[in-house]
Amino acid sequence: MDSQLLAMAKEKLMEMVQHGGNVVVVNNL
């Protein structure tokens, strides 16, 4: 996987955790 894409995905996950918690992250995987 492209490292830039991975970094973006990680940022998005952290954002989701901050907004809705782990449940949101799991639902979007």
The pLDDT of residue 1: 60
Which residue blocks in 1-29 are alpha helix, DSSP H?
Answer: 3-20, 22-28
Cα separation of 12 and 19, whole Å? 11
Residue type, 8: M
The pLDDT of residue 20: 66
The total number of structural domains that make up the chain:
1
- pLDDT tens readout for residues 1-29: 689 999 999 998 888 777 665 565 566 55
Residue 29, both tokens: 């995987």
The boundaries of the domain holding residue 20 are 1-29
| DSSP 8-class letter at 29 | -
The pLDDT of residue 24: 58
Q: What is the pTM of this model?
A: 0.48
